Structure 1
């Protein structure tokens, strides 16, 4: 009965005070919709890699490497680490080495071709990770070097079903055959690694002698600890293991264990100390969700207390006929909860409607299902929001003295007015901080995407050298450069997007014995500098006219600087590489970015050698025709292979995918915060205008103009927004400055960012308030004063 009663009272008050009730409903619905989306995103982020059954014992073996007194954390480890750890440390039950995920070609019966994500993994792989095998045994599915495990998806593509796949032969890279010994379930969406087949690591080891050395890194190592084994204790045991295995006893490597499921969120290290990662964005959006809900609740509180005088007589009458304060508080809280429940239902419908677009923006596959977690979140949010939104109005309205109320002596107290103003200031302070954040993130991302990188990335295509290209490289590049629309083409071991191959094995004349400096190692051909548009600041590039350039080396500015030379001084110096190659410096390139601008440009060197990537610069306007001819040439040299390529500018943009998505999400949520805050101002402006109608009428009779009235009604709100700006600017500066610290190259937090935000905030407030102020100012004075 009480619920029916509360519902009837709520609906009656909703329709009696349509404007303020609608503002409350829209504000709460918007706030709950934002909170729902953020909750789904946060839950998805927190679930990444958490599905493995042995999650509590699953660790990645990582390295701390020390160079120039700075410690770096890396996932790369020696290729023979896993097999030796399992032998020498009883606390380690399973250990497996993996290579890196990349696309490779699989062929069946010379008529089915698929290029899918794959990598080589150790024998224990399926005992470590929970990728359920639909066929095969985890203990022996990868024991044979000629075995291959494929996903359900790939089994159905090749053979129609899982059962038909086992025992069949697939050809890898048109080079050698593997027998299907296992089929695993498709990789779940909340896994950082997505792949469709795996090959034994022993096969990779046979083709790559370098992985058998303790002095070389590259592969990744994963372990499962025995039950009861402690992470820290095992870390202490294995810490110096690589040092002990190093042939000359000289190593700068310390091993440590990192829980595998934590690395996605806690993957950032600064000088050997874990220092955030994606968890910072999880925290940021969780805080934003709370603030948006609080802003929506503030609207509810403000409008409820503002219209208190209109409900004061109701409270007075109820108290006069015997209703106690507790009963009235329950009524008002009940009304608030009912409105919140209705808002949550609407928010749920909006989330269902907008979820596909949200998934597109975030590049996720989130679905909305009524799981226990979702139900718990919804109930908890409704209760907290309902009580937060309704508690202050309930306590405020029910403290009125019924005698004074019925005599019409009730007036807003100074405390009430200041509380309402304080809530408005809080609202707009949060909104302004969000606006500054959106502007800074957008400007930094734009800066990253438009920054001069030291080379020209426009109209450059990269693709792998496959098939017979490696054996007929000269012939292939000769024909490639003849294609109309191809401005130039070059071979390289690098993609200019990530750190790929580095070494500390360089010695030079002035190097100190204790110095350890890491250099990026880039193999190229004679046309690379021309193709990429890089600038020489001293010396020359490799040139066939000079003949023996195989004994030459080209450095970047950062390299010669760390070596203690100026670019001019470096020319002619001799470098000893790995104590095997004596290479003379013939050129110095202007610094260029070959990884994200989160990092400063690191030392790098170029030398002639085998390459496995092709860079092609296309003439503007001829891209489509040229790439058609490039594909034809590729297929001539690589029959049976699938031609895939990437434009360098697009790949570069993907480096800042995280920042771009965060910026986009922030823009939407800031927009919602602005909307909710404006709804609150709109409601308060409406109420203020209604309450001052007689004053407005008198002023107009006495000669006040419309502009005078608008200014009078707007100035109080302008003052509140001005205070919000003063509070928000130093707070936003602090947090944005901290965020920008993660970039080695960044924008300046200029004065105009904050001035612009202040102007935007004032304009939004004026536009919101002035519509109601104009409406009030244009009312006929006779209508305002007719009951006097």
Structure 2
């Protein structure tokens, strides 16, 4: 029986070849898109899930009240992990972590003439009790028994020693912003998997970081991240209540509160509103799951519509089979089997397409996805295929198996009103999905365009930055300042260089800050978090940050390190009138306000502009250099900068980055979502057009005799075209009207996550509606014109 059914299905595919091709293209395209999305979503959902203590592993987050609401950040007081582990019985282990590029970029590690520039992390003693690492050599329990021990990743060890054997005990040199010296390799660890968000090639002792940055010992300052493992029986909600005021218990002037977020959930839930997670990358995961379902539904709808539309060709087959004794369940089984076979063939085509386009997809998404033997992937692909087969074949199988036997054999089968409305409803749903996807994609692109073109309050074009170099090993402050000034003067002499300065931290997404600021008239019961941005002379001028009043730092004045420059927001929240000349206290040091800059964006556009002060950094061994280059001379100027860098750092590659690239990296997820949305929206439109085309062909065939009679009676070509296309246009127009409010709600919800966003206008929607109507007209109209121009004698010769 199965063999007989397969033979009939193959004959049907061959007989109705056009329908078979349309269905195969539609289903295989839909499955390809759905499986690509499955690969991406599965990878997103497994980020950081590999740690053994994942269920009890949390990150401590800090909420600080500001004038514009509660600001949530990862940075916490430097001694928080240590204090929580000692004072909270529910804490099994706690660790502090901060990147070595916290202020001035990569360091330089060298051994026997091999020199490698890389980033590292400072981690506290319980780091390996919190996170899961596998050691190739060494013992994680004694890894930091000495302050000058260093741990290397497997990849870095291979680059440095050409082996991972007998490496423990070797002495390497590490140079990074004053932390210059010899370190003993105490262990080699395996690389973390690609879906790890916290990883580094070098791990250093956290106590060295605190020695270098003693001001962080103040409980009002924040920068390192704090992670902990709670005991299994701990109630997280109750523990959050316990630690909420922990910082205030250490410093009565603190207003910041603490809360826990599960570490493996933070990657997907990294947006906060008034101190609570409200979304983040999880919104994109949900979005693409919905897109995948919509695309598959589009493909299934095509199959259902085309299968029922060609029913008039198959009703005699069904009638004969019923006469021969076929039960309804047998017919249902056959048509479901036909659907499953079609989706199985489509799956084969989809796998070929995925293998072909996977390198491109990995490049777009920035991932390392593969089609290896993965039980979850295989089950996922089979599940999607089976579900698609059942959904697409359910309605046609029930419809075709329910024909009236006598009517079928007489050739008098009528098209029921319910069938027509069902088909129209499916076309309406298809069109609505396409309109929603097009509008959503357009809105995403317009918002990204705003992000890319918005005036940030500083100039980021043609500005390059790099590290001064860790080869100087200068210990003396005065010698460092003299060498830095000499280096900047050398850079400024290079043709094409407009200005140069040194700086610290990040310009595009500065986090961290302090509440340890006092001024006359300050409310003692209200703390305000200020962000600090450290830069040397000419920093404000290099970025073209506009001064509102006063002046910036200048070499023409003495004792500039006791001066401070604020932004407008800082003056506003402090409530200062005529701020220039007034003295405020920062980190227990008096600072005279010499100038106020206009507000500029030093964080992403998800955030409101926050209070900020500039910190002259010449005394802090800051070795990041920023250079503004004349437009059109970038290549020649960079070559000369590279030669100068090589003079001071022989054998070290000249690595640089453009400031506008750093800024674009903030919106990497949004850019990738925009690109993927564009392609998935196009796929949805193509599938919808295939369905409309197939229906137009069958509609024209079903009405060919009616068309012939109308033409004989004098009907014009355009009247016939209207007859064939009118219902399609009405259905699509209704779909557009329904899609508009749905699209508006989706777009508004996404845009609300940005502090600065585009305005939704009528033409975002009207333009999409016109586009969809044009595509519908081209898809259906071409077939309608062809049918209207046909010779009526060919359709009426049998009458």
TM bucket (normalised to shorter chain) is over 0.9
Uncovered stretches (5+) of structure 1, i.e. residues with no partner: none
Distance 1:74 1:628 in 2: 39
Q: Does 1:348 align with 2:351?
A: yes
Matches within 5 A, 1:417-432: 417-432=420-435
C-alpha spacing 1:327/1:374, structure 2 compared with 1 (3 Å): same
1:398 Cα deviation after fit = 1.5
1:729 Cα deviation after fit = 0.5
SS of the equivalent of 2:96 reads strand
Partner of 1:476: 487
Matches within 5 A, 1:360-379: 360-379=363-382
Partner of 2:54: 55
C-alpha spacing 1:533/1:213, structure 2 compared with 1 (3 Å): closer
**Structure 1, residues 217-242: CA drift from partner, whole Å, max 9, x if none?**
21112222334334334334433333
Partner of 2:285: 282
1:49 Cα deviation after fit = 0.3
1:119 Cα deviation after fit = 0.9
Partner of 2:211: 206
1:548 Cα deviation after fit = 5.0
Partner of 2:4: 5
The one of 681, 701, 713 aligned to 2:692: 681
Matches within 5 A, 1:563-602: 563-564=574-575, 569-584=578-593, 586-602=594-610
Partner of 1:187: 192
**Structure 1, residues 606-657: CA drift from partner, whole Å, max 9, x if none?**
2433344321100112112212222233333445654321101111111111
SS of the equivalent of 2:627 reads strand
Q: Does 1:724 align with 2:726?
A: no
The one of 662, 680, 686 aligned to 1:669: 680
Distance 1:500 1:89 in 2: 27
1:251 Cα deviation after fit = 1.9
Q: Does 1:320 align with 2:323?
A: yes
**Structure 1, residues 54-89: CA drift from partner, whole Å, max 9, x if none?**
211222222223334833322212222222322223
Contact 1:299 1:677 in 2 (8 A): yes
**Structure 1, residues 502-550: CA drift from partner, whole Å, max 9, x if none?**
2223333443333322222123333122211122233333334454544
**Structure 1, residues 268-321: CA drift from partner, whole Å, max 9, x if none?**
221122211211111111111111111111111111111111111111111122
SS of the equivalent of 2:279 reads coil
Contact 1:42 1:286 in 2 (8 A): yes
C-alpha spacing 1:485/1:543, structure 2 compared with 1 (3 Å): same
The one of 532, 536, 542 aligned to 1:525: 536
**Structure 1, residues 583-605: CA drift from partner, whole Å, max 9, x if none?**
13x33322211111111221222
C-alpha spacing 1:135/1:42, structure 2 compared with 1 (3 Å): same
Identify which range, 755-764 or 154-163, moves more after superposition: 154-163
**Structure 1, residues 346-374: CA drift from partner, whole Å, max 9, x if none?**
11221111111110000000111232212
Contact 1:550 1:608 in 2 (8 A): yes
Q: Does 1:24 align with 2:23?
A: yes
Q: Does 1:711 align with 2:715?
A: no
Distance 1:295 1:773 in 2: 23
Distance 2:100 2:451 in 1: 26
Contact 1:476 1:637 in 2 (8 A): no
Contact 1:303 1:680 in 2 (8 A): yes
1:565 Cα deviation after fit = 5.1
Partner of 1:177: 182
The one of 290, 295, 300 aligned to 1:297: 300
Contact 1:108 1:169 in 2 (8 A): no
1:736 Cα deviation after fit = 0.0
Identify which range, 524-533 or 537-546, moves more after superposition: 537-546
SS of the equivalent of 1:521 reads strand
C-alpha spacing 1:719/1:69, structure 2 compared with 1 (3 Å): closer
The one of 159, 162, 178 aligned to 2:161: 159
Uncovered stretches (5+) of structure 2, i.e. residues with no partner: 475-479
C-alpha spacing 1:289/1:529, structure 2 compared with 1 (3 Å): same
Distance 1:205 1:562 in 2: 31
Contact 1:124 1:138 in 2 (8 A): no
The one of 622, 631, 634 aligned to 1:623: 634
Q: CA RMSD in A?
A: 2.0
SS of the equivalent of 1:495 reads coil
Q: Does 1:397 align with 2:400?
A: yes
Distance 2:677 2:317 in 1: 43
Contact 2:122 2:206 in 1 (8 A): yes
Distance 2:760 2:127 in 1: 48
Distance 1:742 1:78 in 2: 28
Contact 2:174 2:182 in 1 (8 A): yes
C-alpha spacing 1:421/1:264, structure 2 compared with 1 (3 Å): same
Contact 2:564 2:591 in 1 (8 A): no
Partner of 1:609: 617
Distance 1:276 1:628 in 2: 44
C-alpha spacing 1:188/1:594, structure 2 compared with 1 (3 Å): same
Distance 1:380 1:658 in 2: 28
Contact 1:63 1:254 in 2 (8 A): yes
C-alpha spacing 1:557/1:240, structure 2 compared with 1 (3 Å): closer
Partner of 2:226: 221
1:494 Cα deviation after fit = 4.1
Distance 1:217 1:648 in 2: 25
Distance 1:553 1:46 in 2: 45
The one of 147, 150, 171 aligned to 1:148: 150
Contact 2:432 2:735 in 1 (8 A): yes
Identify which range, 225-234 or 774-783, moves more after superposition: 225-234
**Structure 1, residues 690-742: CA drift from partner, whole Å, max 9, x if none?**
11112222333334443333233222111111001100011101110110001
Partner of 2:797: 786
Distance 2:787 2:100 in 1: 66
Q: What TM-score does the superposition give when structure 1 sets the normalisation length?
A: 0.95
Distance 1:207 1:565 in 2: 34
The one of 696, 704, 712 aligned to 1:693: 704
Contact 2:362 2:369 in 1 (8 A): yes
Contact 1:106 1:170 in 2 (8 A): no
Distance 1:477 1:602 in 2: 30
1:375 Cα deviation after fit = 2.1
Alignment size in residue pairs: 782
C-alpha spacing 1:54/1:769, structure 2 compared with 1 (3 Å): same
Partner of 1:657: 668
Distance 1:272 1:522 in 2: 24
Distance 1:688 1:149 in 2: 72
SS of the equivalent of 1:758 reads helix
Identify which range, 219-228 or 342-351, moves more after superposition: 219-228
Distance 2:247 2:651 in 1: 42
1:152 Cα deviation after fit = 1.1
Distance 1:731 1:388 in 2: 24
Distance 1:322 1:187 in 2: 64
Contact 2:501 2:535 in 1 (8 A): yes
Contact 1:598 1:745 in 2 (8 A): yes
**Structure 1, residues 89-112: CA drift from partner, whole Å, max 9, x if none?**
333222221112645334444410
Q: Does 1:459 align with 2:462?
A: yes
**Structure 1, residues 658-701: CA drift from partner, whole Å, max 9, x if none?**
10000111111111110111111000001011111122223333
Distance 1:324 1:656 in 2: 59
**Structure 1, residues 392-439: CA drift from partner, whole Å, max 9, x if none?**
111111221101111222111111101100110001101100000110
Distance 2:587 2:526 in 1: 15
